Amino acid sequence: MKRWISLLALPLLLLLASQAAGQPEPIKVGITTVPPFVMETDSGEWEGISIDLWRQVADGLDQEYTFVPLAFSDLLTQVESGQVDVAVGALTMTAEREAAFDFTHPFYQTGLSIAVPPAPEQGLLASLRALISWQFMSVVIALGGLLLAVGFVLWLFERRRNPEQFGGTAVQGIGASFWWAAVTMTTVGYGDKAPVSLAGRMVALVWMFAGLIMVASFTAAITSSLTVSNLQYQIQGPDDLNRANVATIANTASEQYLQDQRIRHQLYPDLTSAMLSVANGETDAVVYDRALLQYRNLQLGDKRLTLLPGVFQQQLYGLALPSGSSLRGPVSEQILEATESSGWKDIVRRYLGRD
Q: Give the residue range(s) of CATH 3.40.190.10 domains in the chain.
A: 23-109+315-352, 116-122+234-312
Q: Give the residue range(s) of CATH 1.10.287.70 domains in the chain.
A: 125-223
With 0.95 as the threshold, say if the pTM is over it.
Answer: no
**Counting Cβ atoms within 10 Å, is residue 83 exposed (0-12), middle (13-18) or buried (19+)?**
middle
The residues near 279 (Cβ < 8 Å, ≥ 6 apart) are 117, 300, 303, 304, 305
- Mean pLDDT over 213-230 rounds to 62
Q: Which residue has the higher pLDDT, 147 or 320?
A: 320
- Over residues 40-89, the pLDDT tens digits come to 988 889 999 999 999 999 999 999 999 999 988 899 899 999 999 999 99
Q: Which residue has the higher pLDDT, 185 or 230?
A: 185
**Please, what's the largest Cα pairwise distance for the chain?**
134
Contact 236, 280 (CB under 8 A): no
* Stretch among 15-19, 166-170, 274-278 having the lowest mean pLDDT: 15-19
User: Distance between CA 181 and CA 173 in Å, rounded?
Assistant: 12
* Architecture of the domain made up of 23-109+315-352: 3-Layer(aba) Sandwich (3.40)
Contact 117, 278 (CB under 8 A): yes
Q: Quick one: which H or E segment has residue 177?
A: helix 170-185
- pLDDT of 19: 42
The residues near 212 (Cβ < 8 Å, ≥ 6 apart) are 187
Q: Which residue has the higher pLDDT, 345 or 211?
A: 345
- pLDDT of 126: 53
Positive or negative CA dihedral for 191, 195, 196, 201?
negative
User: Distance between CA 285 and CA 242 in Å, rounded?
Assistant: 11
Q: Quick one: which H or E segment has residue 298?
A: helix 290-298
**CATH superfamily to which 116-122+234-312 belongs:** Periplasmic binding protein-like II (3.40.190.10)
Give the fold, CATH level 3, of 125-223.
Answer: Helix Hairpins (1.10.287)
The DSSP symbol for 261 reads T
- Over residues 267-314, the pLDDT tens digits come to 999 899 999 999 998 999 999 989 889 888 988 888 899 999 888 888
Polymer length in residues for the chain? 355
Contact 166, 154 (CB under 8 A): yes
- Over residues 241-263, the pLDDT tens digits come to 988 899 999 888 889 899 999 99
As a whole number, the mean pLDDT across the chain is 82
Positive or negative CA dihedral for 312, 316, 320, 325?
negative
Could you tell me the pLDDT band of residue 8, with boundaries at 50, 70 and 90?
Answer: very low
3-state secondary structure of 326: coil
Q: Which residue has the higher pLDDT, 189 or 211?
A: 211
- Over residues 122-161, the pLDDT tens digits come to 555 555 565 566 666 777 788 788 888 888 888 888 888 8
Q: Which residue has the higher pLDDT, 200 or 126?
A: 200
The residues near 284 (Cβ < 8 Å, ≥ 6 apart) are 116, 228, 231, 232, 235, 244, 245, 246, 278
- Mean pLDDT over 221-228 rounds to 55
- Mean pLDDT over 8-31 rounds to 60
Q: Where are the alpha helices (DSSP H) in 23-169?
A: 49-61, 72-81, 95-100, 124-131, 134-161, 163-166
Minimal CA–CA distance to 261: which of 270, 280, 248? 248
3-state secondary structure of 116: strand
- pLDDT of 124: 54
Contact 141, 331 (CB under 8 A): no
